Amino acid sequence: MGDTIQDSEQSAASHSTSVTRPANDAQPTSEEVWHLPHLPEHIAILCKDLAFRYREAQVFDHVTFHVHRGEFVALTGKNGAGKSTLLKLVVGILEPARGEVLVFGAPPKKQTESIGYVPQHAGFDPAFPIAVKEVVGMGRLSGLARVSRGQKQEEVDWALEQAEVSDLRERRFSALSGGQRRRVLVARALVGHPKLLVLDEPTVNMDAASEKKFYDVLARIKGTTTVLVATHDSDFVSVLADTVLCVGQDVDHPHSVHRHALEQADHAPEELYGGKVVRVRHDIELPDNACCEGKD
C-alpha cells in the first residue's frame, strides 16, 4: 500500500486532486468534481455545499470546508449558532438536507471505527453504579472488530493513561467531578484508537485547573489524531489550534461556516483560560485553502 500511495503522490505532484462523488453512479457533472490541492487520503473531514434545517429553521446553507488529517480544529460560535448540529453531521448522527460530508473519504456512518465522539451531555444515569473502567470499556463495544479480553483490557488501560484518569479506574462515574467525567469520556472515545476525535464544548463549567489538565490530554494526541473541538468562547481558543472555524459569525450569511485568522494573545491570563490561548480574528476571513500550504 505504501508503494501505491507514493506512486499516487508522484502522479499528483503537478496538478490538483479531483474527488468525484456522483449520485447513484451517474456521470458526475462539473459541479460534482471537487478539486483539492492535496490527496484525498490526507483529508479527515470534507464538507461540500452542506445544507441542514430543523423543520422551518435553516441552520446551514452552502457550507464548504475541509480539515486535514492530524489537524487540531477549534469550532467557535455563539450559543444556538449550530456548533453541536455541525458536529452531529460530521459524526453521522444527523444527515444533511443537501450536499455531503465525508470522513476520510467516506460517509461518516461507514467510518464509525475511525471516529471518537464526546457529546456535550454524557447521558449516564447518575444512580447507575458503573465504574470508570467500565465506562471506558464501553467505547470498545461500538466497534465491529472482535478483540480478546486481554487486548480490550490493554486498550482500556492505555486510554485511561492517555486521559490521565488511571487512578480513577475503580471509582464510580457518578462520584466524579465534572472535569474528571469529561476526561473519562475522552478516554472512552480514545479506547478504539480513533483517527478523528470530535468533542462538543468539553470544558463547559470546568474550573481553570481542570481545563488545563483536559488540554494537556489533547496535547498528547495532537498530530497523531485529528481533533475537532467546539468551544463556547468565540474570542480565544487553545494555542493547540491549527485552524479555527466560526459558525454563524457573519451577519450577512448567518447559516455559514467561515475560516478565520488566529493571532498571538500574549497577555491573556492563563489562569483564566486554563492554559495558553490565541485570539480569533473574526475580522480576517481566510479562504478554505489557507490551511493547505506545506501539506501534501
The pLDDT of residue 27: 36
Residue range 103-111: average pLDDT?
Answer: 93
Could you report the per-residue pLDDT of 139-192, keeping only the tens digit for each? Answer: 865 444 555 677 788 999 999 998 989 999 999 998 998 889 889 999 999 998
User: What are the backbone dihedrals phi and psi of residue 30, each rounded to the nearest 5 degrees, phi first?
Assistant: -60, -25
Domains and CATH numbers, the chain: 71-96+104-291 (3.40.50.300)
Q: How far apart are CA 21 and CA 179, in angstroms?
A: 41
State the CB neighbour count (10 A cutoff) for residue 218.
20
Nearest to 187 by CA among 135, 234, 109, 247: 135
C-alpha cell at 31: 459541479
- Cα separation, 256 vs 254, whole angstroms: 6
Give, in degrees to the nearest 5, the angle at Cα 70 between 273 and 6: 165
Query: What confidence category does residue 97 fall into, taking pLDDT thresholds of 50, 70 and 90?
Result: very high
